[in-house]
Each structure stands twice: as C-alpha cells, then as structure tokens.
Structure 1
Amino acid sequence: MVKQIAIIGGGIIGATTAFYLSDLQGNENVQVTLFDDDTGQATKAASGIISPWLSKRRNKRWYALAKRGAELYPELVKAAQLSDRAYQQSGTIVTRKSHDDLLALYHEAEIKIQHTSAMGNVELLDADEVQRRMPLLTNAPEGIFVSGGARIDGANFVTELLTRAEQNNVQVSHQRVSLTADGSLETHDGPRKFDRVIIATGAWMHETLQPLGLNIKVRPQKGQLIDITINMPNRWKDMPVMMPESMSDIIPFNGGKLVIGATHENDEGFDLTPKAAARKQLFKNAQAFIDNLSESQITDMRVGTRAYTDDFAPFFGVVPMLPNFLIGGGLGSSGLTTGPIIGYFLAQAILGGPLDDWSQYTKPVSRYIV
C-alpha cells in the first residue's frame, strides 16, 4: 500500500527530503506532497559557502553533522543533476587576522585532511597568491586554500532540486497549510490526513506545532546580503570563495556577480524589510578587500529569516509521543551545509532504510520542546 507523505516547508531540508523520497530505494511505496508558500524562506534568500572543516565552532555534534553534509553534496548534485548555477566546487580561502593563528589553523587542517577526504587539498597562501587566485581583490589577506570548498546559491539549489523531485512524481503545492489538533493538515481544499508528516518550517516551526500542543524552542534571526556586479569577465571564471575572519563572506559567482553576507540580526523578528544600515555595513565589509567598489554596483539586497536554537545547534528526529511526525530545523547560519544531510536522514527514516546513529549529530528532539 502506498503511504501518503506530507512535507511542510520547501526550504533546504524540505526540498532535499522531497528529492530523496523520490529517488532512494523504496520511493515507489510513497506519494509525497510538499507544501510551501515561500514567505521569508532563508534558503531562497541565501547564497553561501560549503566548507565547515576549519570552523571555529567546537560543538562536536554540529561538526559531525556539517562534515557529513559537506561530504553528501557531490553525491546529491550528481543524483539530482544540479547545474553549477546551484552548486559549484570552487575551493575556499579561509583567513585569520593573526599570522600565528593562520599557521595554527593550517597545522589543524593538515591533521584533519588525513581522515577527511572531502577537504581535497590544503595550501597555505601568502597575500600575493590569494590576490592571484581572486583578482577582484585589491587588499588581499594571506589565507588557507581548501580545494573541497564550494559555493551554493540557495534559490537555484532549491528550485532545481524540487524540479527533479516533481519529475519523479512529487507534488509541490504553493500554499500555506496548518496542522489541526488531530494531526490533519488544513489546506485550501479542506483538511487532509497523511500517514507521515515532516515539518521543516524553519523559524515558523513554533507556530506550526502549536496546534499539536507543542512549544518548540526556536527563534527567528534576520539575515541580509547584497549582490554586487563587477565587470571583469576575462579573469573571473571559477574563482574561489573567501571566508574572512569576523567579516562577511566574499562569494563570486560566474558571470560577474559578487555576493557579500550575511548579517545576523536577533532583534528583528520576522521583518523582511531591507535595512540601509545593513546594506552599508555589508558594503563596508566588501570594501575592506576590494577598495575600488562603488555603491552603484549593488544590484540587489536579499532578506531571509533563519531559525536558531538556544544552543545554536540544529536538531531533527521523531516528535515525542507523535511517531508519525518528524521534524528538522534550528539550522542557523549553517543551514546550507547541514540542511541536505538532515533531509537525507529524514527520507531514510520514512522509507525504512538503514539509519545512522542520530545521537552523534543531534540532541534529542525533546531537548528543544518546552
């Protein structure tokens, strides 16, 4: 008997779960409907860097999850036939303000690379070499190049992933739905019952789960970024991305688009209004490395709302006392890295495939419910 599966939320977790439910072994036993209205979605407003290996974060579960997420990407990109507009392994340049700190980080990278093949190659670069590899820079810092790093465009990634899922018989419904007390979904066509429900509504998860009598501990965080157009096509193609210490990421995309961001604003709630102060700060961060920029080159400003937990850690699993409901969220600023592997795990659980020990990646879901 074919089981009816609902996914609420079409961001990075929801879209990846939908694709894997249409692609993994056992997909013929499920019919999947994904509901999403796009409002404020962090993924579609985001561009980012997939390169978690030299992060300053010391949360072991987070690192294990992010590491698995980075390892998954090449397989996912191949399986879903995603274009380089969505994802491209460009290499990442990581910086530190202190030369001694950079050397210490390089030695750490040399150790990690011995058992982390997804990192690729690691090189210590002086400022001249960084500038050669990123010729748009006028004030290049020294850095560490990690060849396995990649850039991702959230909107293109999700759009292409859901297109593949729809081709594999997933239904995508562009509407906002709500749960009822008995676990049904209230849709535009009336209430519907599903055998399993996956909730991936990000910062809105608190609102989503309230009808079930659950209080989830997530909070919204506003993220803003800017797009800058630079005309230097002959020297632009396949440029690496840069993660400067305590500054905005520098993310060149083929074609002359440069993305700077993103902000982390905890007191803005669900406000999606672009702010002049954020635009100014992001542009200033870009000018620290590219001093010949003009504000007239800013072509777009995007705004999204991330979900954060009080311990800054993602979570996923079965909802306590409600075995037909699974959730995944609290991704914070690492959502583009950790979201797909969570979607993969959730799809495996639905299809009855072999499961990893999730406790190495996340605390119990009950930890995030009041």
Structure 2
Amino acid sequence: MTKKIAIIGGGIIGSTAAYYLSQDSDAENIEVTMFDDGNGQATKAAAGIISPWLSKRRNKKWYNLAQDGATLLKQIAMDTNMPEDIYNQCGTIITRDNPDKLQELYDLALKRTSQTETIGDVIKLTPNEVKEYIPILDHSLPGVYVSGGARLDGAKYTNHLKNIAKKINLSIINDYAKLNDDGNILVNDKSYQFDKIILATGAWTKKVLESLPLTVDTRAQKGQLIELAINQVANSDQNMPVLMPEGESDFIPVGKSRLIIGASHEDDKGFDLSIDDDITDSLLNSAKSLVNNISVDNLIRVKTGTRGYTNDYGPFFGVVPGYKNILVGGGLGSSGLTTGPLVGKILANLSLNHNVSNLEEYRKPIVNYIKLNNN
C-alpha cells in the first residue's frame, strides 16, 4: 500500500526530509508531496557557515545536534556528489583580540577533536598567518583555524536534494499551505489528507498551526546579508576559509571575486523582508574594517530572510502533542544550515515509523515548545 507523506516547507529541513524519503528501501511505495511558496525562507538567505565546534553554548543537546549535523551534512555532500559551489569544506577561522581568550578557544578546539573527526585539523594563527589564509584581508586579529569548517549555499542545497527526490517520489506544489482544524492540509480552501505530515515551516510554524488547540513557542527574527564584488588577488588560487571575526559580522569569501557579509539578527523586524539601509551600512562598515577600499560601489545584492527561534534558543522536533500523524521541526535559529539536515533525516525516519533511538541526545521535550491546550 502506498504511504502518502506531505512536507510543508522546502528549506533545509524539508528538502533533507524529502531526500531521505526518496532514499528509503521502500521509496517506490512512498508518495511525497511538498508544499512551499518559498517566501522569506531562512535557508535561501543564510550566510552559510558550517562550524559548530568552537561554540560555547551551554545547551549540550544543541551541541550534540550541531556536531552530528555537520558530520551528516558532509556525508550528504559525498553521497550526492554535491558540487563545491554548494558545499565547500574551505575551513573556518575564528579570531580573538585577547591572548587568553584565544588560548581558551584553541584548547576548546583541541578538546573537541576527540569527539568528532569532522572538525579536522586545528591550528593557532597569528594575524599575518590569518591574512595568508585569506589574502584579501588587510587587517586581522590572531585566530584559530579549523580545517573541517565549510560554507554551504542553502538555496542550491535545497534545489540539489529536491531534484534528486523528484526523480523518485517527490512532487512539489508551489503554494502556501497550513493546517485546518481537522489537522489536514489546507491550500486555497482545498483540503488534502495524508498519512503523515512533516512541518518544516521555520518561523511560520505558529501560524501554520494556529487553527489547532496548541500553544507554540516560536518567534521570528529577520536576517539580512550583503554580497560584494571584490578585486581578485593576484597569483592566488586559494580556497579561502570563512572568517568569524571578533566584534564584526561573518566574512565569507566565495571564489576570488565575491564576498558575503552577515547575516544580521533583528528581533524587532519579524516577518518584514524589506531591505534596511542602516543594516546594509553596518554590514558594509564591518567589511571595511577588514578590507581597504570597500565601498557601496562593491555592493552586488542584499538578501533578507526570516529565522525561527524559541525563547530559550533551543530547537524542537518530533510528534506534535495530540496529533500523532503530524511531525514538526523548528526553532533552529542561525544554526539552521548545520542542524537542519539531521532534523530533516530524523523527521523522515519518524514519518516512516522507523526506530530513532537517540532522540533525547539532541532535544529537550517537545512539550517545552508546543503544548496541547486544556479544554
């Protein structure tokens, strides 16, 4: 019997879930329908840094998810022959001004090499050595280099995986979908029924679930980044690392002629996707602090998107309380490109009733974020 599974949202979680549903041993008996209007999707506007190992976040479950998510993402890239313009293990550098803080960062990186091979090599760098790794820099602090770090083009990633899945069992409806009070999918007043529904709706999760008697802890945060044209570096064919400079916005060289700066974190803008000139100027100034002769003339484009956060910044995923046929993943915030692939894989397995034994290593109880209201 054919199993009908719906996915609402085609970002990092939804596209990865679709990919794994297409790779299941019984994929020919699984019919997957994705609903996605693409509006404001965080994945498409994300800066694209995959480097969780030097984070000092105290949420151990988050770190487990991020660490294993980075490993899974590298595996997906290998398994799907992902081109380097999508996933590029270029390495990452994090800088610190204070020597004690730099040593602390370096010691943390060395400690975490024992927990995962994906982190790669760890090297402490002087300011001049940082500039050797990233020749377009004119100014730098000392830093720590991690060879396993990567950059990911979120928009290309989602298209890559959806194109694989479409050849097997995925169809896509490019329209906005939500749930009605029966827990079925509603699109333009037309109702659809499925055996399982995967909600991968990011910041829109509360809105998608609003017809159901649930309290949902999500909030929207706007992110804006800029893309700049830069002068090519003479005699340099280096695959430059991503730079996470202390006190400045993330600095992401792409090839030898493009540079991405950002993204911002704007709690008060929510779902507003308009370009904020003040944020653009702030990001430009961040680039100017590192590279001479950067100006507005270098600006190629500005991108905006909306992330979903929870009050304690923790992710949530699993079965929606009171609705055993509805699965959800969200609250990933700015680490979505790192944690989203693993959440997508977990939700795909849960939708097929496959055993997922290590869920509690990665999450707090979902009732911390989605609660069934008492009548």
Tell me the TM-score normalized by structure 1. Answer: 0.97
Q: Which amino acid aligns with 1:98?
A: N
CA distance in 2, matches of 1:291, 1:301: 21
What is residue 103 of structure 2 aligned with on the other side? 103
Q: Which amino acid aligns with 2:53?
A: W
On the 8 A contact 2:14/2:344 being kept in 1, the answer is yes
* Runs of 4+ off more than 4 Å: none
Shift of 1:265: 0.4
In structure 2, runs of 5+ residues without a counterpart are none
Q: Which residue of 2 aligns with 1:348?
A: 349
Distance verdict in 2 for CA 1:189–1:169, change over 3 Å: farther
1:191-270 alignment runs, 5 A limit:
191-232=191-232, 234-235=235-236, 237-270=238-271
Structure 1 Cα separation of the partners of residues 263 and 33 of structure 2 = 31
**SS across alignment from 2:111:** helix
The match for 1:326 is: 327
Which stretches in structure 1 are left out of the alignment for 5+ residues?
Answer: none
Residue 176, structure 1, aligned to residue 171, structure 2:
no
Residue 338 of structure 1: CA displacement? 0.5
Query: Structure 1: how far apart are the matches of 2:104 and 2:134?
Result: 23
Counterpart contact for 2:91–2:150, Cα < 8 Å: yes
Q: Retained in 2: the 8 A contact 1:6–1:194?
A: yes
CA deviations over 1:205-249 (Å, ceiling 9, x no partner) = 111011122221100000000000112164254111111123211
Q: SS at 1:115's partner residue?
A: coil
The one-letter code matched in structure 2 to 1:181 is: D
> 2:43 maps to which residue?
43
Aligned equivalents of 2:357, 2:82: Cα separation in 1: 26
What's the counterpart of residue 280 of structure 2?
279
Q: CA deviation at 1:310?
A: 0.2
Deviation at 1:289, TM superposition (A): 1.1
Alpha-carbon shift at residue 182 of structure 1 (Å)? 1.1
Whether contact under 8 Å (2:28, 2:168) holds in the other structure is: no
Cα drift, residue 13 of structure 1: 0.5
- Tell me by how many angstroms 1:255 deviates: 4.8
**In 1, distance between residues paired with 2:144 and 2:153?**
23
Contact kept, 8 Å, 1:8 with 1:199, in 2: the verdict is yes
The alpha carbon displacement at 1:170 in A equals 0.6
- Measured in 2, the distance between the counterparts of 1:302 and 1:8 equals 23
Give SS of 2:215's match.
Answer: coil
Q: Match of 2:219, as an amino acid? A: R
Give the AA of the match of 1:80: T
Q: CA deviation at 1:99?
A: 1.3
SS for the counterpart of 2:10 is: coil
CA distance in 1, matches of 2:261, 2:273: 18
Contact 1:236/1:256 (8 A) holds in 2: no
**Please, what TM-score do these two structures have when normalized by structure 2?**
0.96
Corresponding pairs, count? 370
Name the SS of the counterpart of 2:169 in structure 1: coil
Asked whether the equivalents of residues 82 and 161 of structure 1 are also in contact (C-alpha less than 8 Å), the reply is no
* 2:226/2:299 contact within 8 Å kept: yes
> 1:214 is aligned with what amino acid?
L
